[in-house]
Each structure stands twice: as structure tokens, then as C-alpha cells.
Amino acid sequence: MASLRPSSVKLSPFSAITNSFTGFHRNWLSLRAEKLGRVDNAWLRLSPSLKEKSVLRLDAWIISAGHAQELKSFKIQNMSISDGRVDFYDKMKQRFLSFKKHKYMGEVEHFKTLAEVQSPKFMVIACVDSRVCPSNILGFQPGEAFMVRNVANLVPPLENGPTETNAAVEFAVKTLQVQNIFVIGHSCCAGIQMLMTMQDDENPSLIEKWVGNAKVAKLRTKEDANHLSFDQQCKHCEKESINCSLLNLLTYPWIEERVRKGTLSLLGGYYDFLSCTFEIWTLDFKESNDVSHGSKLSVKDRVFWC
């Protein structure tokens, strides 16, 4: 077979099969070299350690034009991914440094106090949706709100057993002694959309099991809003699920006791990011002390911000 090497260039017996990029599977080199008929006996006689070293050498200039283009394309793609990642981290870095300069350094004493103890007035239960961060929407500052976020901002009843949500609520109420528990829902909630469309399944997914905690809200929505479009039904259920979570909070004796005494308030909130409006209401305990499944919630002090 005719040699593929340029006649004017002298190469070492190892150069023809070295790689210009770490990240290619090493078998790729041998397979490619065999295909070209360029495996030297000297390479075959090399010890494994020397083969390992020679694989890492940068000799892209001896690869044929087609293979060079292949590697160039691979390099460009990876540089693009890398550049995007670096750009993202750089943005986070700049945001952090801005926070440190303008917020932290401007309130050093406050942050030193927070380092010793936290005394938030609010416990916030919100959705994990990336579009509805309560700190951005309502301006909660460090130390003001103890927060837990889950799919569809749900609170399961006590009988359903331990979850990270009721564990956080217990810590907030018993240890931090918050004065308000604020359940915040939002428009276009994918968790509620799944709840409204899912069927009974013998093998439900993790998400289906979780949103099943709001099944009562779905049943009530079907009763009260069955004549509406699917999108309108979902919006109805998004608000109804908040009320169900407020009622579920009353299944915890240490919450019910504090609400009865007036030392703890339960609030619902709904953020519509399509119109950028916010609705807030407070549970009326005197009218809502029946926490059995299917019971209706009475609210007071309903306010609409637009």
C-alpha cells in the first residue's frame, strides 16, 4: 500500500497514531490507524505506559485533511459548550460580588446577627417552578422568611406521614416560632396540570404520587368548574389546592393549637405571572375548624394586588 505520509516530512513511528484531543476513546486511535494501514511495528512493540503517553501527544498536523476537519468540528463544539458554561458561571460570580458589595457590606452588622440566630416571621411554602421565586416576587430579605419549595406548593396531611415539607414546617413552628405560614401558588403550574390530567395508575410515578396529595382540590374543581375550559379549570385548581394545603396544615396538632390561640396565622397567596398580579387571603379559623376531607375553607381579608 502506498504511504499516506507527505514525502517531505519525516515522522517518528509514533506520530501517525497520536491524538490531538483527550476525550476521544483510545480505541478510536487504533481502529482509525488500522483502517489507514498505518500501524507501525514499532507501535505494537511499545510498552503500555509508553502507549499511554504517546496517546496524549498533540500531533493533529499529521492527520489527513478529512480527519483534521472531523477533529476541528469536535473541538469547536466542545469549546462552544465550555464557553457557555464559563459565561454562566461568570454571571453568577458577578451577581455574587455585586451582592457582597452592595448588600452584605452595606449591612454587615445585620448579617453578623443572622450568623448567630435567625428569627423569621414567615414560613413560606412555594413551588419549585423557576419562574416564581418568592424572594424575587415579594422581596423577602435574608432572615425574613424560612422557606421550603416543592412541586405544586403542597402540604400533605399529617396522616400521610413524614416528608421534607412537614419536617420544615415543624422546625419553623416549634423551633423558630414563626407567626405566619404562607402557602403561595401560581399560574401555569405544571404540577397541577398533571394532577388534572392523570388517571388512576397501579404504578404511579413519583410526581404523580406527590401531586396526589391535592386530589381533593381536583375533585372539587371538577364539581365547581366542570363547565370551564381546561386552562380555566387548572387555574381554579391552582387556587383550590392552596386552600387544601391550608386545611391540611390544621391536621397537625401543634399548628391547630397555635392557630386557635391566635399566635399563628395561615395565609394563601396566588401569583399570576401572565398578568403580574398577586392575590392574598387569610384562613378564617372560626369558620374552618372542620379539617375533615372535603371540608370547605373560609377565608377573610382577601386582597388583590395589581
The per-residue pLDDT for 284 is 86
pLDDT greater than 70 at residue 275? yes
Contact 160, 138 (CB under 8 A): no
The per-residue pLDDT for 184 is 98
Q: For the segment 152-211, what is each residue's pLDDT rounded down to a tens digit? A: 999 999 999 999 999 999 999 999 999 999 999 999 999 999 999 998 877 899 999 999
Residue 186 among known ligand-binding residues: yes
Q: What is the CA radius of gyration of the chain?
A: 31
- Please, what is the end-to-end C-alpha distance for the chain in angstroms? 80
pLDDT greater than 80 at residue 142? yes
Residue 127 among known ligand-binding residues: yes
Residue 1 corresponds to which cell in the numbers above? Answer: 500500500
pLDDT greater than 60 at residue 16? no
User: Pick the residue with more confidence: 86 or 270?
Assistant: 270
User: What's the DSSP call for residue 285?
Assistant: G
Q: What is the pTM of this model?
A: 0.71
Q: For the segment 73-129, what is each residue's pLDDT rounded down to a tens digit? A: 555 555 555 666 778 889 999 999 999 999 999 999 999 999 999 999 999 999 999
Contact 152, 198 (CB under 8 A): no
Residue 129 among known ligand-binding residues: yes
CA-to-CA distance for 134 and 23, rounded, in angstroms?
Answer: 42
The per-residue pLDDT for 202 is 78
Q: What percent of the chain has pLDDT over 70?
A: 69
Residue 244 among known ligand-binding residues: no
pLDDT greater than 70 at residue 131? yes
